[in-house]
Structure 1
């Protein structure tokens, strides 16, 4: 009788979690499976009432043979790696500067978090105005300083850099807050003991602080990695993938394939590839982070 009561208590958490698991499967697993299935079919948006036509791997073969798709993969990797690395670096520098409870720290936290709270559509519109060659404030200040004006969004070489700057402005505060929380969670005894042993600030940082927050850095990198791959709105508002396809990341390529070319099956193939890249890079980051912690 006692064993039966223990078994019931052990099962009860799973029974309570069952509805949440069912909803999770419904809203996540079912669409993913449906998307993978649709990637093997040809289905046009204009013929949505017709049955999809099975084409096997043709969508994937066409994609990998497409120059625009290859460019979008390159642009996505350059954009993602750039923003993740730079945001981690700048966020870590800011967190180290403000970790010791400087006067007005609460004010700085509030100011820094404001860009994250702005809707991506608004961010895109704001920075598109700032980069405007005719009345944008950035070129205005460059002209005041006697410098040459820059075609921020019209130059294929500058457009991606401009969007990277925008993303860093918006999401560095998110990285900063996570890393600051990690730094403030380090026991002060460790740093005090290192100072007693004669460690300078750089040695303290390399051998104590960074190893202690390696888990936070890894989680932050994965979160930003996933979000950067899914980024669409800001880039759509600012350049719509242009000039040419110089800023067309995979998510924007997916959108154009689905709603401009109206090829839902091919768009699903892009989504499957995007999901595969995100999953692979996330596994690499998480595995490396687990090894560093052990």
Structure 2
């Protein structure tokens, strides 16, 4: 089954909401059936999957349509992207940003392991959907091609942007002020035990040196910072990196007060020379 991607890759981080549900309203079902009939008449073989998405394939590639609201209907028109779990994540981020810049009507998303693309719109009638259907297909495919071509160029070293290291893995732990582990890396972090959230990064270093990594720490309430935080960031860590693949720990962020962080979804973003080079989402239970 297709992967739902929740992380949009643009100059600013955004969140997209999926309106697919197990049960559509009667009005939405009528609208979906009309779209399905149209697709069948156009020579596609549409089906309804287990989360009530209208799916079809074109030249072997998967597309799907999710519905929400009514009068007008909110329509999400998706195109599957590609798996990138073994790719240079920073290059994929740049490639998605380039697609978002060139094809404004399409949003390119990067999840933990894959890229996807979507066009969002409102339609009062199926006729409006029909009118823009082939244009939407064309724009989704255009954005996909830009992502693939831009990534290929970056990965082949043809980009003028050069980064001396790449972050390949991010883990988080819950520690006390003396860096004693409370909840270890890769284990569940519980809200009532939280003090300092400490990230650990695995880095592939091309050129050794001292590098300043800026961190943005987002709690469910937004960006967390203090009076001495760098402007626009949570904190900065300077790391002496040596060539090869190594693991480094950054500063912990939080408080010695037990239960400092509440239950919810959190995000760490890592920046070098003003470029976001990696990010990590995690849950505190």
TM-score by length of 1: 0.27
Query: Which protein is richer in strand relative to its size?
Result: 2
Which structure would you say has the larger Rg? 1
- Higher normalized contact order (CA 8 Å, seq sep 6+, divided by chain length): 1
